[in-house]
Amino acid sequence: MQTQKLKVGIVGGTGYTGVELLRLLCVHPNVTLTVITSRGEAGLAVADMFSSLRGYVDLTFTDPALANLTDCDIVFFATPNGIAMQQTRDLLTKGVRVIDLAADFRIKDIPTWEKWYSMTHACPDLVTTAVYGLPEMNREAIKTAQLVANPGCYPTAVQLGFMPLLEADVVDTGYLIADAKSGVSGAGRKAEVHSLFSEAGDNFKAYGVAGHRHLPEISQGLTYMAKGKVGFTFVPHLTPLIRGIHATLYAKLIKPTDLQALFEARYKDERFVDVLAKGAHPETRSVRGSNICRIAVHQPQGSDTVVVLSVIDNLVKGAAGQAVQNMNIMFDFPENTGLELVPLLP
């Protein structure tokens, strides 16, 4: 096991995932924060923007053009889609390992990615070598990865919920439904009408029913688990929460199965997946601020319908926490290092 202090860089340190990375990494015992970039806030002290980090982070934001990222052992991209793919090749060439929290390397089929993200991919060859960073599915590949595509928030909650069912081949793979709800921080730290307090507060609505960018990412993962094509419907919703994702998943059972035993066995060695007791209903507040996914599985009225309830904090297990979990795996640190976070309640 390595004990050195990693030199860590963060590209895009002013968004919600960026500040969440800072919160987690500034107290990580194996990390030295080396550089944090921001084009718009270059020269500003990080703690002057985020007072929660006073006494923990003494860096100032650096203009990306001046940042010496190649001095780092690992660089996290907490940037909008399309940024990491412009800079990753040079970093990899210099021996720097990369974790991208955006979607640039998640989807293996390039035409599909370009369709959903409305841009031409700058380095499609790197997509083939990138490892999808869902530890519960790809832990061994993550260990030696040079480039990790950190999963999206909805995809994390949905895939962890369906995984035991698909791996055991006990449900109809042609009929999978995810009805998922997210807090407004999932939209990022930018001014948009739909996420204004007076718009999102005291309100609840579906969006992206005709198609959401996370749909092909989730479908790709479910297809991998099922070892074949799946029929999948995904409907996201916006809730008046700051943090949290609640995914209600539906599938049809095709063989008699002790569902509780199946889920408990699949996740018994997973520190960050908590299978609740039979009949339980997980709450988003039970994972707020933590890297935990809590899951409960139901079979209402003893029918052939399986209902899985999966909750995460979209900024932690759905983004920055999972990225740190991936870093720990890549550098052979205990997987829970820096991530033993008790959820915030109330």
In 3D space, the residue among 67, 212, 112, 222 whose CA is nearest the CA of residue 157 turns out to be: 222
Our answer to whether residue 153 is catalytic in this structure is yes
Q: List residues bridging with 24 in a β-sheet.
A: none
In 3D space, the residue among 2, 27, 22 whose CA is nearest the CA of residue 11 turns out to be: 22
3-state class (DSSP) for residue 149: strand
Q: In what order do the strands lie in the sheet with 232-238?
A: 205-206, 232-238, 171-182, 245-253, 305-312, 293-298, 273-275
Q: How far apart are CA 190 and CA 16, in angstroms?
A: 9
Contacts of 199 (CB under 8 A, 6+ apart): 193
CB-based contact 288:318 (threshold 8 Å): no
Written as six digits, the tokens of 307 are: 């209902």
User: Which residue carries 């990899």 as its tokens?
Assistant: 92
Written as six digits, the tokens of 128 are: 């083939």
In the chain, the DSSP E strands lie at: 6-11, 31-37, 74-77, 97-100, 131-132, 147-149, 171-182, 205-206, 232-238, 245-253, 273-275, 293-298, 305-312
Written as six digits, the tokens of 280 are: 């339980």
Choose the catalytic residue: 26, 72, 123, 153. Answer: 153
Q: How far is CA 344 from CA 115, 189, 243, 292, in A?
A: 39, 21, 11, 12
3-state class (DSSP) for residue 280: coil
Per-position DSSP letters for 169-216, written without gaps between them: T-EEEEEEEEEEEE-GGGG-SS--GGGSHHHHTT--EE--TT--THHH
Task: Put residue 39 in one of left, alpha, beta given phi > 0 → left and psi -120 to 50 → alpha.
Answer: alpha
Residue numbers annotated as active site: 153
